[in-house]
Amino acid sequence: MSRRGTGEGTVFQRGDGRWVGRISLGLDAQGRRRQSTVYALTQADINAKLDDLKQKRKTHAKSLSMTDTLTAYLSRWIANDVTVNSSGKTLVEYESAVKLHINPYIGHIKLAKLNGEQLVKWQALLKRDKRSANTRLRSIRVLRNALNKAVRLRTIPFNPMAAVDKPKVVRKTVSPLEPDQCHDLFAACEAHRIGDIVILAAMTGLRKGELFGLQWNAVNLDECVLVVRKTLQELHGASVKENRGLTLKEPKTAAGRRVIPLGKVAVEALRNRLAKAEAEGFDTQQVETVFPNIRGGFLLGSNFDRNVWHPIRHAAGIPASFVFHDLRHTQASLMLAAGVDLKVIQKRLGHRDFATTANTYSHLLANAQTDAVDKLEIMMRKQAPKRSKRVP
């Protein structure tokens, strides 16, 4: 067999003396690999036929880029690029944005004729259809990434998304629980079989996926510590074979893999959960998950909110606007109130960048600084030396 350079095809001679040449034509819209095969009596003839195929491929690719609709291009981009190079969560997010917020509005436009004015109008239509600013921002990011790839492939000369302004997203104000509210919430957790997950969330700042994926071999109650090694990812979308897909995977960043020291309240919550697990017949060797469903499997986010979190929140008198993720903010607020350095809080929460922690809790930090200044003033008044009287 005679192998040539990448993109030049493969040439070999069969046992009957005929020469065979094969060349890859890339992937089709469904992501299937295409190739063409030619035959000749001599090696010179087979090389000539392959050269002819290569020229036709270039001509076809050029004409395809001129007639491609945005929908056709995005389909290939997701199949050939996003699927290969992105995480499952990113793939689902991109598929959803393309299906719901891009193709129905501008998917019919030829890729080569897509311009800034059409894209500005697209965003106006999304807003008119009452799509949130956050949804519009995600759609902009997805299409910008897709068209950036088209520029690098030289399918289009420049990215027309440069004409589109980002919508202003108003972030939700973090409203953590006060200590008295925490006491009421923790009391409401005692009766539920996995209510201790709420206490652990508030006292460690673990994300929902980290709590759902927590296993007993990552917990050391004697040493009062747990290790975040895994997170449970729940996916929905066309890329998931079933209606839902659960994957236990490592955290996305190195900062997500962390050691969490536990206080007495958190340790007690885990001991209570261990006792409940043993009473249920869920031996830690058979069911490794700390907070399983009633069958010993992984929890689903929607079921958990409906059957666990919402009833506990209601019983404690916590407003419905307070979501489970806000327990993570509660942990940060309690630590700030205790005078813990923001850098320590960053590591505990698993933020990759310090700026994320500072931006999220800047308003809480301002309150903590005010309290610190007041305490400093009191301390200085107590310790200030007496001034001697001036001698005339």
Over 60: is that where the pLDDT of 237 sits?
no
Query: CATH no. for residue 283?
Result: 1.10.443.10
Query: CATH no. for residue 104?
Result: 1.10.150.130
Buried-state track 216-252, b at ≥16 Cβ within 10 A, e below 16: bebbeeeeeebebbbbbbbbebeebeeeeebbeeebe
| Number of domains present in the structure of the chain | 3
Structure pTM? 0.68
Q: Supply the range of the domain harboring residue 247.
A: 179-355
Mark whether 8 and 34 lie in a shared domain: yes
Give the residue from 136, 163, 190 where a domain finishes.
163
Q: What is the pLDDT of residues 155-206, one digit of tens each?
A: 888 999 999 999 998 877 778 899 999 999 999 999 899 999 999 999 999 9
Contact (Cβ atoms closer than 8 angstroms) between residue 293 and residue 287: no
Mark whether 302 and 343 lie in a shared domain: yes
pLDDT at 28: 56
Give the residue from 49, 66, 83 where a domain finishes.
66
Mark whether 111 and 34 lie in a shared domain: no
pLDDT at 369: 62
Which residue type is seen at 238?
Answer: A
Residue 261 parent element (H or E): strand 258-261
pLDDT at 383: 58
Using DSSP's 3-state secondary structure scheme, residue 260 falls into: strand
